[in-house]
Amino acid sequence: MSSSESLPNNAPRVEKSDADWLRELTREQYRITRRKGTEPPFTGAYWNATAPGVYHCVCCGLALFASTDKFESRTGWPSFTRAVADHVQEREDRSFFMRRTEVVCAGCDAHLGHLFADGPPPSHRRYCVNSAALTFERGSE
């Protein structure tokens, strides 16, 4: 998806300067979403959350994951079996001498975490996401 394209429901892509992101996000949110950081396991706000609702991108507000797709992975990070269609993009990540799949918000390119093939059936997918990259809207999906 190019930066001039719109997301589903005609939501525009969000593009801001680093200075703008620094003003709008906490240091931790900026480090994780804009600089591809990772929070320590078992420290984020949502790693063990069970309330019904929808998880959104902390940067642009795009809906990313439904609580019905969240599962306990015992990794210390929020884990999901699937993302909201077309709202999360996958990219190859070869950092730290590893080959992984990075997941980013389709609305603003925020780094969310990584995708692994060790989730529960039937998809066997585990979106391992940093809590600091998310906000949560309580309620029904």
Domain ranges of the chain: 15-138
pLDDT over 80 at 117, yes or no: yes
Angle at 18 between CA 15 and CA 22, to 5 degrees: 110
DSSP alpha helix (H) spans, 14-97: 18-24, 27-33
Selected residue with higher pLDDT from 63 and 4: 63
pLDDT digits (tens, 9 = 90+) for 90-105: 988 777 667 889 999 9
Which residues are CB-contacts of 121 (< 8 A; sequence separation ≥ 6)? Answer: none
- The rounded mean pLDDT for the chain is 90
DSSP 39: P
> Is 128 marked active-site?
yes
Contact 63, 54 (CB under 8 A): yes
Domain 15-138 has CATH 1.20.120.1770: no
Confidence of residue 55 (pLDDT cuts 50, 70, 90): very high
Cα 64 to Cα 58: distance, rounded to the nearest angstrom:
10
- The residue that leads in pLDDT, 94 or 128, is 128
CA distance 60 to 73: 26
Q: Report the predicted TM-score, pTM, of the whole model to 2 decimal places.
A: 0.88
